[in-house]
Chain A
Amino acid sequence: MEATYTTNLHRILVVNPRTCFTKIAIYDNNKLVYLNKLNHNSEDCHKYTRILDQHEFRRKAILDDLKKADIDIDKIVAVVGRGGYLKPLKSGIYEVNELMKYDLIHNPAGEDSVNLGALLVDDIAKTLGHAKAYISNPIVVDELDDIARISGHPLFPRKSIFHALNQKATARGFARQQTRRYEEMRLIVAHLGVGITVGAHMEGRVVDVNQGFDGYGPFSPKRSGTLPAGDLVRLCFSGKYSKEEVERMVMGDGGLAAWMGTEDVSKVERMAYNEGDATAKLIFEAMAYNVAKEIGALSVVFNGRLDAILLTGGIANSQRFVQQIIDRVKFIAPVHVFPGGDEMEALAFNVLAALRGERQISIYE
């Protein structure tokens, strides 16, 4: 498993903490040399009220696994993690600092396992002693135009919370493919995963994007997206549901999970098209329909002058789903599909570019 050591070797450890597993990877420069998904004990994941309390067992699992895999951790120069719910910031690569850790521990904008990213990489980098800790393009990347911040009521500013990491990586990858600079392109990028966010990338900045965490936009495998406001208010005041129950309807148990009892898109697709389940077909198609509508809405950001529409994320593996979107939006711009979306690679490549001096390292303040 060991790569040949060269003087220019940048060995990077990537840490991506998810619901009850942690994905880790080792990159030697841009080459993936190790990848593993560490499944944690479900009891461990549920026994703490705060997700941050899962820090210790996840840290141990990572270090134990690297040891078991016989990885030479002394060569690691950078440890990079998913960024969490920090204060809104510009896209880029950030070295983990005390203020960042403070914000994640004391006032995160949302409670999610990704908040562990910065804390875990900082801890591991300190354990290693010779490595630096980074995060890159956390979900709170905020490059919105002022006009996109205005909602229909001043109590509810529109916020930028989206899959910045994958959207940016996909957009940059496409720009490279076209031998153009990301900073001069006009793109719409739809990340189609457990959550769905559609961003308007105006010459390197995501100037508008649906708030895909618990705000608005298309529904997704686990999230409800836009809900009719008046009906939602009536439901909240009906006395039939607790705050937590309504929050779960919006995020976690919404979307496909609520309609079909599963968040598994390929399962719903099978039910719809192989087993003749009419509801499954309707919901599957409605999800694509709503993604298309979001893409159409964002096309006005560019008044129709855009280079391409990019579809990425896990659901982009479904040819049927992708085709249903393409049929509705192809009149706007050419559509390119990049299924999957490798967060591990995106994190590693961002840090590598910074280590090579190709991109700047930003400071969280």
Chain B
Amino acid sequence: MDINPDNCIILGINPGSTSTKIALWKGRNTIFSGSVSHSPEELSVFDSVKDQLDYRMQAVEELLAPFESYMKEMCIVMGRGGLLPPVPSGIFPMNDLLSDYLANNKTGEHASNLGGLMAEVMTKKYIQADAYICDPVGVDEFDELARVSGHPEFIRKSFYHPLNHKAVARRHAGIVGKHYEDLNLIIAHMGGGITVGAHRKGRVVDVNNGLDGDGPFTPERAGTIPAGDLARLCFSGRYTHKEIKRMLTGNGGLLAYLGTIDAREVERRILIGDDFAETIYKAMAYQVSKEIGAMFTVLSGEVDGILLTGGLAFSELFVGYIRERIGRLGQIFLYPGEDEMGALLTNSQLILLGKANIIHFDQRFLS
């Protein structure tokens, strides 16, 4: 690959559950960024996420058609990482084993599994470019202590939003003029899922399992649930496995209490005096604060900054609730939103600058 960081054209592909976002960059400059949304009706004809590949590729190629001239100079196609087994943080060149793993949803089915697959299809057409994914869900830098749950049948897993956690951490390190690897940070990613990670010198040594494990509840997920009560409900015969799964993910949290996942709607209700909405919203902030407090002890109180990111970090009210609880613990920095596309670009540039931790996905990750 002819590596000239300034001339290389980079394509980022980010498939989400209801849209596919793409961006085309030259150096740090954006040539094009766009998104195509997929309605539930359109997606309903597909049995599995993998079957959406051709359909989504076609949509992306239509978006990119006006930029054909740039595509010849494309050297990197960076897809959003999907669900992988435990792997280190870094950048993974696509290979047959990785494609097979993502296509067959071996860890779990998620739209982001298409990121690497779409990148790979692109590089079949533009053979001078290489396909990668970066910081996929599955990044695991846990201390052994963090893996131990209260029963050997249950191992605590590193299951969070590494793409945004790591990108925000590096961005913050850049702003304060330090290396990420020299900092101790607590990062709370607060979106549809909420994950609070203890970053010790560049490694996420503990984080709540934000998919369906433990931690704060979120706009749509339940977080920690009393174990005995949950077990009894499972055996009650009143609910199917699928129904209980929905209580934990998709139908828990704000949605279960207030019938909406939209924090702005909840705040509107609070403004007009809905006390119940206020209690629930405050309880969510309380639980995020508690998780941050817990992570402080993981770092023995030696914390250089508390970083709040994700969509909820836009809310002054929500951030205010958290600040009341943890303001004295340490300095809070806001990185609202979730810049996944920016993270794909940053990681691509690490490759061009020779600073990337390139990891070849091979058999050692499958044992």
**Cβ of A340 < 8 Å from any Cβ of B?**
no
Which of A249, A286, A296, A303 meets B328, CB within 8 Å? Answer: A303
**Cβ of A48 < 8 Å from any Cβ of B?**
no
Determine the residue in chain A with the shortest Cβ distance to B330. A304
Instruction: Assess the B213–A247 pair: CB atoms within 8 A.
Output: no
Question: Which of A11-19, A85-93, A150-158 touches B?
Answer: A150-158
Given the complex of chains A and B, what is the CA–CA distance between A295 and B152 in angstroms? 24
Instruction: Assess the A211–B226 pair: CB atoms within 8 A.
Output: yes
Query: Contact string, B218-248, partner A, CB cutoff 8 A, digits 1/0?
Result: 1001111111111111110000010011011
The B interface, classified by DSSP as helix, strand, loop or mixed, is helix
Query: Contact string, A207-222, partner B, CB cutoff 8 A, digits 1/0?
Result: 0000101111011100
**Cβ of A255 < 8 Å from any Cβ of B?**
yes
**Cβ of A31 < 8 Å from any Cβ of B?**
no
Given the complex of chains A and B, what is the CA–CA distance between A237 and B294 in angstroms? 31
Question: Which of A65-73, A223-231, A314-322, A351-359 touches B?
Answer: A223-231
**Cβ of B59 < 8 Å from any Cβ of A?**
no
The A interface, classified by DSSP as helix, strand, loop or mixed, is helix
Determine the residue in chain B with the shortest Cβ distance to A218. B150
**Cβ of A33 < 8 Å from any Cβ of B?**
no
**Cβ of A251 < 8 Å from any Cβ of B?**
yes
Determine the residue in chain A with the shortest Cβ distance to B301. A331
Instruction: Assess the A293–B298 pair: CB atoms within 8 A.
Output: yes
Instruction: Assess the B153–A233 pair: CB atoms within 8 A.
Output: no
Chain A residues with CB under 8 A of B228: 213-215, 247, 250-251
Chain A residues with CB under 8 A of B19: none
Query: Contact string, B280-301, partner A, CB cutoff 8 A, digits 1/0?
Result: 1011001101111111111011
Chain A residues with CB under 8 A of B234: 232-233, 236-237, 246
Determine the residue in chain B with the shortest Cβ distance to A220. B150
Query: Contact string, A240-254, partner B, CB cutoff 8 A, digits 1/0?
Result: 000100110111001
Given the complex of chains A and B, what is the CA–CA distance between A295 and B292 in angstroms? 12
Q: Chain B CB within 10 Å — which of A230, A250, A300 has the most? A: A300
Instruction: Assess the B294–A152 pair: CB atoms within 8 A.
Output: no
Query: Contact string, B17-52, partner A, CB cutoff 8 A, digits 1/0?
Result: 000000000000000000000000000000000000
**Cβ of A292 < 8 Å from any Cβ of B?**
yes
CB distance from A327 to the nearest CB of B (A): 6
Q: Chain A CB within 10 Å — which of B211, B231, B300, B301 has the most? A: B231
**Cβ of B61 < 8 Å from any Cβ of A?**
no
Instruction: Assess the A232–B257 pair: CB atoms within 8 A.
Output: no
**Cβ of A283 < 8 Å from any Cβ of B?**
yes
Determine the residue in chain A with the shortest Cβ distance to B298. A293
Chain B residues with CB under 8 A of A300: 286, 289-290, 292-293, 325-326, 329
**Cβ of B127 < 8 Å from any Cβ of A?**
no
- A-B complex: 5 closest residue pairs judged by Cβ atoms: A331-B301, A230-B212, A214-B228, A219-B150, A152-B217
- Listed by A's residue number, 20 A-B pairs whose Cβ atoms lie within 8 Å are A153-B256, A156-B222, A213-B228, A216-B225, A224-B149, A227-B227, A228-B209, A229-B248, A231-B213, A233-B244, A243-B232, A249-B151, A250-B228, A258-B152, A282-B144, A282-B148, A285-B145, A293-B294, A299-B293, A300-B325
